[in-house]
Structure 1
Amino acid sequence: MADINIPPDFDLPTLMNGTLHSAKVGLEGFNLKSPGPFSYDPTRDNCPRIAKGNFTEAQIRQFCENIRPPSGQAPNFAASRLLLGLEKPKDLVVIPLTARKIFMRPDVGFPVRPQIAYRDQSGAKRILILQPRESHDYTLDAYGLVASMVRYAYAKDDLEGAIVEIVDLQIPYGSTERKLRKFLSSELPLVSNEEIRERFDIIVQAYDILKAEGFVRKASPPRKFYRDDKTIEMFPDAPKF
């Protein structure tokens, strides 16, 4: 039996309204839907180098030409090129971040995937997470949940007190083109770590019900995002924590 997948960060808020029924329906729907025709993982991979100013638009285009399937080339280029508009303070140090899971128990973890940490021009620490999809109906409450999850998983030790910065790359209402917009945790309706765990616990209950019912998620074939199995080394000189 295929394991039941827990949705990542931006897909989680729809399951977190506090009712067991909606959590179960949402979790079941997430595991039954077919995977999209392409992934925005190349844009997420590109983020550290673009933020450091190491990519030109021509280089982004060249990189995106390696993306497979070809249907992912134009969307990833459109999203990645917008990242050239990110603020780049002098002597910017960018720390690439790896995905983490907030574990409620050993077999159930909630994925959170910010891309970088850095200090802004005022010296404040920030954790940046991308929303690269072209069209996605998010609310400020949903972004507050995402920022709260990132803060829970990452704002500790060297990053304690860091501001969470959501970079949204979708097409705004009334527009026909993508736009880079930023949402800061200081401006969003956040929830406490305790409330996050309470909402996650309801999703875990839904997970257990689906397992007990013998639910089987739709199998997905392995996905390949680049022309060659040996993907490009994105940021070999990146500093580490």
Structure 2
Amino acid sequence: MRHSPSLPEIVRVDTSSINSSVAHLISLLEPSGGNFNYLDGTKRTRKAYKGLHDLNKLLSATPSKASSVGHQQNMDVVRLAASHAFGRQTAVFDLPARKLSYGDDRFASYRIPFFFVEARMVKVYFLQPRKNTHFTLDQYGLMASVIKKNLLDTEFYGEYCEIEFADVSKKVGDNERTLQVYHLSDLPAWSESDVAEHFRVVTAALKIVEDENLVKEVRRPLRDRELPLFD
């Protein structure tokens, strides 16, 4: 069975060795115990960037929705991520689905819910909503390098472009979520050779996982018509 992790999942793979990559991919691909997702929080955050700068309205929900599993976690995300759009003038646009080609005819989705234009600058937006999922600056740098080369420098060539990564995880040693926003200038740029080597190791590890059938039951990716790149 062929596996297709998304770009954010791939950049977090430990490629210091084949063994560490295989172990990481097995943990990633197997179904987890989580029984909710952050699609609702992502959609509400997008509404804030579209101009709804009212936290009470963004957090409003019917009684049945408010009591659903994961609702409180989604609202925690909205309080931090959506509020960052307040007071800004941003025009939001969607992108049709994009896939990054790598390795032996493999593809990884760009996990991007929307992009927006602010002060004549195109900004690709990425929200990391999970409380205990941690990206390092180096990992964000890898993702930014890939997105810049394969999206910003091609489809938005000649435009002023930027990336806005919003991370609302609980940092190591903290008890509560905090918002950390990263832009291109905050992140280390990866060379083309380093990017290629990372994907080479991921490809080799995926082949081992598949050839040896190390993942028996595969986690189903999230799909949503309104968030074409969020899977």
Tell me the TM-score normalised to structure 1 length. Answer: 0.76
User: Aligned pair in 2 of structure 1 residues 210, 171: CA closer, same or farther (>3 Å)?
Assistant: closer
Q: What corresponds to 1:110 in structure 2?
A: 108
Identity of aligned residues (%): 22
Counterpart AA for 1:199: H
CA contact (8 A) 2:91 2:118 kept: no
Structure 1 range deviating more: 34-43 or 189-198: 189-198
Partner residue of 2:182?
A: 183
What is the CA-CA distance between 1:195 and the residue it aligns to?
3.0
Decide whether the 8 Å contact of 1:101 with 1:110 is kept in 2.
yes
Cα distance change, pair 118–221 in 1 and its aligned pair in 2 (3 A): closer
Which whole-Å CA distance do the structure 1 matches of 2:61 and 2:97 have between them?
22
Distance 2:29 2:67 in 1: 22
Mapped contact 1:112–1:149 kept (Cα < 8 A): no
Letter in 2 for 1:183: Y
Aligned residues: 225
- SS of the equivalent of 2:125 reads strand
TM alignment of 1:109-148, pairs within 5 A:
109-121=107-119, 123-148=120-145
Mapping for residues 210-225 of structure 1, pairs under 5 Å: 210-220=209-219
Are 1:31 and 1:217, in contact at CA under 8 Å, matched by a contact in 2?
A: no
Cα distance change on mapping 1:43 and 1:98 into 2, 3 Å = farther
Distance (Å, rounded) in 1 between the aligned partners of 2:60 and 2:21? 41
* Runs of at least 5 residues in structure 2 that lack an aligned partner in the other structure: none
- Contact 2:132 2:169 survives alignment (8 Å): yes
1:84 maps to 82
Question: What is the TM-score with the length of structure 2 in the denominator?
Answer: 0.79
The correspondence of residues 143-222 of structure 1 with structure 2, limited to 5 A, is 143-160=140-157, 162-173=161-172, 175-220=174-219
Alpha-carbon distance between aligned partners in 2 of 1:157 and 1:13, rounded to the nearest angstrom: 21
How far did residue 151 of structure 1 move?
2.0
| SS class of match (2:57) | helix
Q: Which moved more, 1:74-83 or 1:45-54?
A: 45-54
CA contact under 8 A between 1:94 and 1:117: conserved in structure 2?
A: yes
Equivalent position SS for 1:5: coil
* Gaps in structure 1 of 5+ consecutive residues: 226-230, 235-241
Report the CA distance between 1:131 and its aligned residue: 0.8
Preserved contact between residue 4 and residue 217 of structure 1 (Cα < 8 Å):
no
Per-residue CA deviations over 1:92-121 (Å, capped at 9, x if unaligned) read: 211133553212267521222122222334
Aligned-partner SS, 1:109: strand
CA contact (8 A) 2:99 2:107 kept: yes
